[in-house]
Amino acid sequence: MDKYEILEKYYGYHSFREGQEALIDHIMEGKDALGIMPTGAGKSVCYQVPALLMPGITLVISPLISLMKDQVQALNQAGVHAAYINSSLSENQITKALTFAGQGRYKIIYVAPERLETERFFRFAQAAQISMVAVDEAHCISQWGQDFRPSYLHIVNFVNRLPIRPVLSAFTATATGEVKDDIVSVLGLKSPMTLVTGFDRQNLFFAVEQVKDRSRYIRHYVEEHAKESGIIYCATRKNVEKVYELLTEEGVAVTRYHAGLGSEERQRNQDDFIYDRKSVIVATNAFGMGIDKSNVRYVLHYNMPQSMENYYQEAGRAGRDGEPSDCILLYSAQDMMINRFLLENKEINPDFTAQELRTIRERDENRLQTMQFYCNTKECLRAYILRYFGEGKKEACGRCGNCQKSYLEKDMTKEAQTVIACLEEQRERYGLGVVVGTLLGGKRTKLREYHVEQYSSYGALRKCREQEIKDLIGQMIQEGYLRQTADKYGLLQTTGAAQELMEGNCKLIVKTEPKSSLAVAEKEIVLKGSAGRYADILNRRGLAFFDTLRELRREIAREQGLPPYLVFSDKTLVDMCVRLPMSREEMMEVSGVGAYKYKQYGERFLACIMDYTGGMREKFYFEE
Ligand code: ADP
Ligand code: ZN
């Protein structure tokens, strides 16, 4: 079999996505590879397809038990022999799994990094033919990453002790330059191919809403999306409880997740959500790592997260199946304070020196500020995100929340010139806080220490509100007149383009929201994402049929003890509604129906379609 046949047979997909093929080809040449792709891009296919093509076993290093379980279930569903070995198994089960593995029964074995350090596992690996070691969530290897896992550092020892060096591949969704370098050097990748695919998630709708009453918004939104699966993130446990109660009172099938709950309850609640027994989960950011649920239709943020990295990762849990989904952030100015408090009190590795600690704090503060810029920008949100992740300047997308709003425009070229003059006379030595303080004529101790009152720009923008100046600077960065150094200091500097602005060759137009538009915007967004989500492709009957197929999926999932999305994804069900397959052949054309899945479920779905349409496709399509 070649890679195309494998994709077709086991996954039921007809073509590779961006980047997948290049990585697979490279790996098949026996070379190391690093894939940096956003959540939902399809990293698993990049190592699973080679795993099935290579002669021996592939070990997949994965940080979380839930992640391994999900992946192995998905593989087994597709007809691939795979297993995991981790601490959720008893000693007996581990012995059995290792015996089977030794007999070559599994092509793919998922393990936690700690497992590699055990002698018993090493003995197995030494005797087996290991073709590849694939490191999932590879950013865990870096001290700079958000989820550093010390045992990731030992992967390379394990690999070096093997009699034959297997191919090494690594995958992650978040990798700044530092993290990328760490992955390559710590894992000892040999002249790897590093492939970064676009971070754009076309199917996600992004919006930021500054609504007066967040509870009302959430209630309204969830009601409008009653049958859909969604996550609501809050910054604190207290907020989780509050939103959870609010929705419970409304009679929503809702559950919750935060570190204050016992581990059993957390597991139960998570399962309720994954198995579609509860449609909504309200959670802190403790929830989500390792959740591969593909039919999450919306992610709402009740509070602003602490960084763009966090936000994109959390929001990115929506729409993994590629179907339209919403990512809406409800922003309130207090979120800054809550987050500062959380950051100041977060647990930090006690081995860090005072200097390292300071660096981390400053970095945290800068990330928080960038997040706030996102919440306040009036420009295209998608373009903002993509630029943040290093994809250069982008056109406005035309379909995010900001692109769809109408704004009042105000010429702030003069004020922008004042900002530039201020930076110049301060010789670009300060970060946002000091610059804004200077322009406002502030009197804080830090400002006095720097003697900012000596500058002619001191107090020059006294008549503006602090937030207005911050937004202005944020926009100047976005439009390329200023930049902020990427180091811990986050110094504001002018670029070549600033001169153009100084000379009046171009204008800086700031957009503001007309007061009355808030309520309108709220309503529009709520409606936008609702059942109308599929309105372009499915008519009223199609939508009703989608519900029927969902019901059948739930029934099968219950019988099999599987999360429904592992039976078929939402995308597959929508495709069935569109095509209305009436034979085995037609069913195999549906995206996500592979040979093995057809054998298990194909006929039941065919029967359901025949039953519903009476075998008359045309009638079903055209009759309203
Ligand atoms: P990641 O690990 O990058 O977040 P996954 O590997 O979980 O992403 O894949 C996300 C979804 O996309 C899964 O439902 C997967 O089956 C699907 N997918 C992957 N590759 C393809 C493809 N070539 N065509 C269609 N769907 C795909
Ligand atoms: Zn846009």
Residue-wise pLDDT tens digits, 409-429 = 889 999 999 999 999 999 999
Phi, psi of 133 (to 5 degrees): -115, 120
Ligand nearest to the CA of 294: 1
Residue-wise pLDDT tens digits, 67-106 = 898 899 999 999 999 999 999 999 999 999 999 999 999 9
Per-residue 3-state assignment (H helix, E strand, C coil) for 578-602: HHCCCCHHHHHHCCCCCHHHHHHHH
Which helix (H) or strand (E) is 611 found in, with range? helix 603-613
Q: Is the pLDDT of residue 284 over 90?
A: yes
Q: Is the pLDDT of residue 554 over 60?
A: yes
Strand order of the sheet with strand 254-257? 204-209, 325-330, 296-301, 229-233, 280-283, 254-257
Select the more confidently predicted residue: 174 or 379.
Answer: 379
Cα of 521 to ligand 2 centre, how many Å?
15
Q: State the burial class of residue 540 (Cβ atoms within 10 Å of its Cβ: 0-12, 13-18, 19+).
A: exposed
Per-residue 3-state assignment (H helix, E strand, C coil) for 506-534: CCCEEEECCCCHHHHHHHHHHHHHCHHHH
**Mutation to probe ligand 1, out of 66, 80, 320 (largest number of atoms < 8 A from CB):** 320
Q: Is the pLDDT of residue 519 over 60?
A: no
pLDDT of residue 146: 64
| Residue 279 · residue 227 · CB < 8 Å | yes
Cα of 383 to ligand 2 centre, how many Å?
6
pLDDT of residue 58: 97
**Mutation to probe ligand 1, out of 9, 10, 13, 67 (largest number of atoms < 8 A from CB):** 13
pLDDT of residue 90: 93
Q: Is the pLDDT of residue 516 over 80?
A: no
Q: For residue 383, give every residue at least 6 positions away whose Cβ sits within 8 Å of its Cβ, in sequence order, or none.
A: 393, 394, 395, 396, 397
pLDDT of residue 536: 65
Runs of H (alpha helix) within 2-90: 3-6, 20-28, 43-53, 65-78
Q: Is the pLDDT of residue 518 over 70?
A: no
- Mean pLDDT lowest among 150-154, 401-405, 455-459, 478-482: 478-482
- For range 534-550, the mean pLDDT: 79
- For range 44-71, the mean pLDDT: 93
pLDDT of residue 621: 65
Q: How far apart are CA 359 and CA 363, in angstroms?
A: 6
Cα of 19 to ligand 1 centre, how many Å?
12
pLDDT of residue 247: 96
Q: Is the pLDDT of residue 445 over 90?
A: no
pLDDT of residue 404: 86
pLDDT of residue 578: 86
Radius of gyration of the chain (CA): 26
What 3-state class would DSSP assign to 137? coil
Which token pair is 12?
């039921």
Confidence label for 543 from pLDDT (cuts 50, 70 and 90)? confident
Which sign, positive or negative, has the C-alpha torsion 370, 375, 376, 377?
positive
DSSP state letters, 162-178:
SSSPPEEEEEES---HH
Ligand 1 atom index nearest CA of 38? 3
Confidence label for 527 from pLDDT (cuts 50, 70 and 90)? very low
Cα of 393 to ligand 2 centre, how many Å?
13
Give percent above pLDDT 70 in the chain.
Answer: 94
pLDDT of residue 145: 62
Residue-wise pLDDT tens digits, 203-249 = 999 999 988 889 999 999 999 898 899 999 999 999 999 999 999 99
Ligand nearest to the CA of 138: 1
Give me the chain's average pLDDT, please. Answer: 89
Q: Is the pLDDT of residue 435 over 60?
A: yes
Q: Is the pLDDT of residue 522 over 70?
A: no
460, 466, 470, 472: CA torsion to nearest 10: -60
Residue entry with tokens 């699966």: 229
- For range 536-541, the mean pLDDT: 72
Residues around ion ligand 2, judged by CB within 5 A, are 380, 382, 396-397, 400, 403
Residue identifier of the C-alpha nearest atom 25 of ligand 1:
13
C-alpha distance from residue 175 to each of 138, 170, 353, 494 (Å): 9, 12, 24, 27
Residue-wise pLDDT tens digits, 314-354 = 999 999 988 999 999 999 878 888 888 888 887 777 777 88
| Residue 279 · residue 254 · CB < 8 Å | yes
- For range 471-492, the mean pLDDT: 83
Cα of 367 to ligand 2 centre, how many Å?
22
Cα of 26 to ligand 2 centre, how many Å?
35
pTM score, whole prediction: 0.75
Which sign, positive or negative, has the C-alpha torsion 350, 354, 355, 359?
positive
Residue-wise pLDDT tens digits, 318-328 = 999 889 999 99
